[in-house]
Amino acid sequence: MTMKKIHIDSEEQLKEVAEALIEALDGRTVVALRGEMGAGKTTLVRAVAEYLGVEDQVTSPTFALVNQYEGANGERLFHFDFYRIDDEREAFDLGYEEYFYSGDLCLVEWPEKIERLMPEEVVEVRITVESPTERTFEIQ
């Protein structure tokens, strides 16, 4: 598995990260977004959605746990935020397997909360905050 590392110093450069993320999928559909609070996970999801032609406003599904968007070609994008769950059973109640094994793109914030439920074949994205405007993205 090769890793791609991208350093950006402005939000405008996120399109490059979104493009690299889509290219890195290689048949996989579940993406684990890892990074501290405020690292830019939702902002990256917004960039990926924009790259795929989603016209809806992308917001964090903090309370709903999952938001669904549709891309320009009719492909579905699911955005998960597991930050507020205290128990994996909440992911079961949500029916996470239907999403994760649907073949649709699933972008998962706070995968640490459901680590044991994550599929084997996932794209890992680690976001490191370098400064208020700089981020390093490691995609593998």
Q: Are 82 and 65 in contact (CB under 8 A)?
A: yes
Query: Is residue 2's pLDDT more than 90?
Result: no
pLDDT tens digit string along 34-80? 999 999 999 999 999 999 999 999 998 878 899 999 999 999 999 99
What is d(CA 56, CA 59) in angstroms, rounded to the nearest whole number? 9
Give the rounded distance of the alpha carbon of 92 from its chain centre: 19
Query: Is residue 1's pLDDT more than 70?
Result: no
In the chain, the domains with their CATH numbers are 4-139 (3.40.50.300)
Q: Element (H or E) spanning 66, and its range?
A: strand 66-70
Return the structure tokens found at 106. 């699933």
The predicted structure's pLDDT at residue 71? 94
Sorted by sequence, the CB contacts under 8 Å of residue 43 that are 6+ apart come out as 11, 14
Q: How many CB atoms lie within 10 A of CB 66?
A: 17
| Sign of the CA dihedral running 116, 118, 122, 124 | negative
The predicted structure's pLDDT at residue 64? 85
Work out the angle between the directed axes of helices 14-24 and 41-51 (0-180°, nearest 10): 70
pTM of the entire structure?
0.95
pLDDT tens digit string along 100-139? 999 999 999 999 999 999 999 999 999 999 999 999 999 9
